[in-house]
């Protein structure tokens, strides 16, 4: 709102006055000041530092936005020690079923209706299209989001000049999501350098268009070490069912490792495993640098248990190994009570995450 912008430009004191932080009658009341999309203000970091130093004892401060707080590397004052970062993600199976989040790592399994599960899969986890759940609204929302991402956010939050080429790169990433990323091939297609491709992908990561999953290679003979995989934050962009399912699980796992890390339960990371013999497992979740559980994604529960799942579990000594089947009905059983490789329904497994 224009009025809010005027107050912001007037400085921290104006915000404190308009929010009632200076009133004696409100001294004992804990207030919350929310700054949304403040990163679009050129001097946002020095502004937040000043406001925090002056008024953090009088209110709670929440900063939200579509880009990371650390997206800008140049200039401005450091905010180190003044904030905790919580990474926001699209809706997930566990969140739809039960929005509460405890401090425990793993939830008890909770059933989710097949209708809600399919709606989440089809329309994605962003609230507006999921809650509306109509193709007409989804198509319009998707077009507007694409326009805002490339015509506004990319232009405002980066120094990229060739917006059209970044759009083409993004389209390529949609089609190859889940495949090994060949930077040289992408660079040749767009007639730019490999370093430029890597820089553009980093920018798209910062704008929450995609995320990179890197290979795990410790204790893996002849493992791949350099080529990562790239997935989308909005899995609904996929027309290919196999890529849709794999990206869907990837997003849930990323949300879980981010949340567990952000609330202080440890350092959690998401990887995949592949060796030069072409044995592969889609995902590996590590806790404090040690393998915790493996995940292989399959469309149907009739698929045989992956040999690679058992092979890599023995190689890296992971506690659990799951083959997640998208079509199986919910089973009221704790997946994480099993140590041997096991085929589990997607709804059961995902309901135990975040």
pLDDT tens column, 177-192: 999 999 999 999 999 9
- What whole-number distance in Å separates Cα of residue 152 and Cα of residue 149? 6
Average pLDDT over residues 159-185: 93
27 confidence band (pLDDT: 50, 70, 90): low
Residues 280-309: pLDDT tens digits?
999 999 999 999 999 999 999 999 999 999
CA atoms within 13 A on the CB side of 39: 20
Average pLDDT over residues 22-47: 80
219 confidence band (pLDDT: 50, 70, 90): confident
Average pLDDT over residues 58-62: 91
Average pLDDT over residues 165-184: 96
Rounded to 5 degrees, φ, ψ at 194 are: -60, -40
Average pLDDT over residues 153-179: 89
Strands 210-215 and 268-274: parallel
pLDDT of amino acid 5: 81
The closest alpha carbon to 333, from 341, 320, 345, belongs to 345
* Residue with more model confidence, 27 or 49: 49
pLDDT of amino acid 213: 98
- What whole-number distance in Å separates Cα of residue 15 and Cα of residue 276? 59
- What whole-number distance in Å separates Cα of residue 254 and Cα of residue 349? 14
Exposure letters 280-304 (e unless 16+ CB within 10 A, then b): bbbbbbbbeeebbbbbbbbeebeee
pLDDT of amino acid 55: 92
The mean pLDDT value of the chain amounts to: 91
pLDDT at 68 over 70: no
Residue 249 near residue 297, CB atoms below 8 Å: yes
* Residue with more model confidence, 221 or 67: 221
pLDDT of amino acid 280: 96
pLDDT of amino acid 41: 82
CB contact set of 227 (below 8 Å; sequence gap of 6+)? 180, 181, 182, 215
Q: Tell me the domain boundaries of the chain.
A: 2-64, 93-351
pTM of the complete model beyond 0.75: yes
Average pLDDT over residues 244-255: 98
Question: Can you tell me whether residue 134 is helix, strand or coil?
Answer: coil
25 confidence band (pLDDT: 50, 70, 90): low
pLDDT of amino acid 315: 95
Q: What does each C-alpha distance from 216 to 146, 180, 221, 226, 302 come to in angstroms?
A: 32, 13, 11, 10, 28
- What whole-number distance in Å separates Cα of residue 221 and Cα of residue 273? 11
pLDDT of amino acid 73: 44
* Residue with more model confidence, 311 or 69: 311
pLDDT of amino acid 100: 61
DSSP symbols for 251-318: HHHHHHHHHHHHTTS--EEEEEEEBTT--EEEEEEEETTEEEEEEEEES-TTSPPPHHHHHHHHHHT-
- What whole-number distance in Å separates Cα of residue 69 and Cα of residue 63? 9
pLDDT of amino acid 74: 46
């Amino acid at each position: 709102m224009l009025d809010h912008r005027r107050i912001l430009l007037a400085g921290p004191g104006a915000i404190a006055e308009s929010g009632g932080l200076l009133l004696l009658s409100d001294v004992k009341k804990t207030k919350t000041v929310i700054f949304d999309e403040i990163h679009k203000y050129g001097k946002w970091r020095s502004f937040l530092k000043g406001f925090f130093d002056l008024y953090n004892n009088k209110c709670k401060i929440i900063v939200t936005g579509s880009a990371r707080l650390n997206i800008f590397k140049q200039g401005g004052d450091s905010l180190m020690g003044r904030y905790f970062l919580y990474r926001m993600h699209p809706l997930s199976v566990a969140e739809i079923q039960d929005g509460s989040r405890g401090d425990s790592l793993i939830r008890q399994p909770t059933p989710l209706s097949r209708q809600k599960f399919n709606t989440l899969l089809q329309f994605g986890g962003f609230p507006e299209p999921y809650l509306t759940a109509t193709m007409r609204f989804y198509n319009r929302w998707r077009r507007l989001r694409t326009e805002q991402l490339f015509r506004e956010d990319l232009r405002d939050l980066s120094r990229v000049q060739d917006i059209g080429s970044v759009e083409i790169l993004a389209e390529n990433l949609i089609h190859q999501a889940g495949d090994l990323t060949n930077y040289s091939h992408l660079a040749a297609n767009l007639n730019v350098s490999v370093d430029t491709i890597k820089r553009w992908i980093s920018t798209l990561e910062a704008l929450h268009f995609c995320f990179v999953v890197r290979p795990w290679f410790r204790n893996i003979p002849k493992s791949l070490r350099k080529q990562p995989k790239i997935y989308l934050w909005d899995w609904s962009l996929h027309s290919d069912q196999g890529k849709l399912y794999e990206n869907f699980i990837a997003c849930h796992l990323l949300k879980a490792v981010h949340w567990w890390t952000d609330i202080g339960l440890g350092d959690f990371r998401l990887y995949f495993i592949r060796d030069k013999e072409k044995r592969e497992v889609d995902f590996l979740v590590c806790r404090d640098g040690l393998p915790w559980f493996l995940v292989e994604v399959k469309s149907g529960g009739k698929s045989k248990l992956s040999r690679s799942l058992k092979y890599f579990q023995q190689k890296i000594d992971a506690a659990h190994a799951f083959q997640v089947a998208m079509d199986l009905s919910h089973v009221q059983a704790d997946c994480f009570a099993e140590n041997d490789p096991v085929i589990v329904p997607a709804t059961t497994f995902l309901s135990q995450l975040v």
